[in-house]
Structure 1
Amino acid sequence: MNYNLPSHLSDLPVYRKAMDIIMLSRSISTYLNNDLCYLNNDGTEDNDIYFSGDIVQQSRSLAPEIINAERERHSEKKHKHLESLDRLTSKLYRNSYRLERSKSNGRDYLPILRGELKKFRKLQRSWMMTL
């Protein structure tokens, strides 16, 4: 992913953790999709497969929000990016709990994702104080 990064951004722990979350959520989603892509006995698909895509989409949005918050000069606009980052993190938590109820062996990896999200939130709080 190339977001035209400012040089200091790749050194930020919160940014590096966001990149780790992207890689982890992609891996989990790929693993889950193999178990959830089959049709149910009645011919319907498993609705949990959509949550696996959601965690990838939401995790991919973390890094751009960090970049936008870093680039923004006005505190009001910066605050909007920070709120968006907080919403994305909350949605990731919720979707990981939803996926944990799925019928897949990959659900065992979701507590790892939530642990990384907890670390991300701690880094996010300290990073927000520096903005």
Structure 2
Amino acid sequence: MSYHIPSHLHDLPIYRKALDIFSLSRRISEYFSYDLSDLHHDGSEKTGIYFTGDIVQQSISLAPEIAKAEEARFSDRKYKHVASLSRLTNLLYHTSYRLERSHSHGKDYLPILRRELRKFKKLQRNWLLTL
């Protein structure tokens, strides 16, 4: 789905933070994928490999939801996208904890992601007041 990105979005701190979270989660995913791509001794896959894709998929959806909320004309549509943004943020938190339980050396990077998500939630609360 392609849509027009308004020029003022790049000035919004929440939008920039969403893009930062996406790039951070993509790098974390790449690091985890390398560690978790090998198989168990019995030939089965490591389940943590799926969580690496989840954090990328969830984080890539943050910025478009902000754009959709900004473009929406009616308040019920705006708050629908805000609610979706909140769910995505909570899912990212949950997925980061699930990844932390996997056996990988990349666990040290997940607190960084969660710290960025906490900053994002603060920005989200302030941004919600401006809608």
Q: Which whole-Å deviations, capped at 9, do the CAs of 1:66-124 have from their partners, x for residues lacking one?
A: 00000001000111000000000000000000001111001110000000000000000
Count of residue pairs the alignment pairs up: 130
**1:10: which partner in 2?**
10
1:130 corresponds to 2:123: no
Q: Structure 1 segments of 4 or more deviating over 6 A? A: none
1:52 corresponds to 2:52: yes
TM-score norm. by structure 1 comes to 0.97
The percentage of aligned residue pairs carrying the same residue is 64
Q: Which whole-Å deviations, capped at 9, do the CAs of 1:6-57 have from their partners, x for residues lacking one?
A: 1111000000000000000000000000000000011100001100100000
CA–CA separation in structure 2 for the residues paired with 1:3 and 1:31: 31
**1:109: which partner in 2?**
109
Q: Which runs of 5+ in 2 are unaligned?
A: none
1:88 corresponds to 2:100: no
CA–CA separation in structure 2 for the residues paired with 1:85 and 1:20: 15
| CA apart distance, 1:4 | 2.7
Q: Which runs of 5+ in 1 are unaligned?
A: none
After superposition, the CA RMSD in angstroms is 0.9
